[in-house]
Amino acid sequence: MAKRVQVVLNKNVTKLGKNGDVVEVAPGYARNYLFPQGFAIPASPGVLKMVEQRREKERQRLLEIKRQAEAQKVALSTVGRLRITKQAGEGNSIFGTVTSQDIADLILQQAGQEIDKRHITLPEINQLGNYQVEIKLHAEVTALVDIEVAPQ
């Protein structure tokens, strides 16, 4: 039975691993395919230390992005209720609808926070009243914003 060798991947390899992963492979696979193609390098103590440092930097970067999302959530919650005016008809129904772009523009104008309209989830708004809009700021952070639709 052949001995297996540890390698560190430089690129994503299908069914093997992602960039930076330490994997064990057959020596012939490493020698004949991974090394010549530049997909991997042999795992040595120095290389493993570099991989660990790279992972720690990436973890810190992701943590900082999450902290920024939390700060943005606090900023949105301090704004309170946002008010948008639409032309209304009979029975409190509005002409047209309130879109996620309208909400993003309103937040930028009143709160000074730039939000991507694709991250805004809103209920179907076709009447005057109060609604709650969900904004996904990060994979783990969502903010709820109250919107009041008022007549023009």
Per DSSP, the residues of 94-128 read: BSS---HHHHHHHHHHHH-----GGGEE-----BS
pLDDT tens by residue, 42-64: 999 999 999 999 999 999 999 99
| Number of domains into which the chain is organized | 2
* Residue-by-residue pLDDT tens, the chain, 152 positions: 569 999 999 999 999 999 989 999 999 999 999 999 999 999 999 999 999 999 999 999 999 999 999 999 998 888 888 899 999 988 889 988 889 999 999 999 988 889 999 999 999 988 999 999 999 999 999 999 999 999 98
Q: What CATH number is given to the structural domain containing 69? A: 3.10.430.100
Domain check: are 47 and 83 in the same one?
no
Instruction: Using the 3D structure, point to which of 63, 78, 98 is the last residue of a domain.
Output: 63
Q: What is the pLDDT of residue 1?
A: 55
Same structural domain, 90 and 141: yes
Question: What is the per-residue pLDDT for 111?
Answer: 84
What pTM was computed for the model? 0.71
Are 58 and 77 in the same domain?
no
Q: Are both 84 and 110 inside the same structural domain?
A: yes
CATH number at 36 reads 3.40.5.10
Same domain, 108 and 118: yes
What's residue 37's pLDDT? 95
If asked whether residues 55 and 72 sit together in one domain, one would say: no
- Residue 76 CA: distances (Å) to CA of 46, 83, 85, 111: 45, 14, 20, 7
Last residue in a domain, options 48, 63, 78: 63
Q: For residue 7, what are the β-bridge partners?
A: 23, 42
Are 44 and 78 members of one domain? no
Residues 53 and 85 in one domain: no
Query: What's 3's DSSP letter?
Result: P
Kindly state whether residues 48 and 34 are assigned to the same domain: yes
Write out the residue range of the structural domain in which residue 36 sits.
5-63
Which of 17, 40, 63 is where one domain is finished?
A: 63
**Claim to verify: residue 111 and residue 88 sit in the same structural domain:** yes
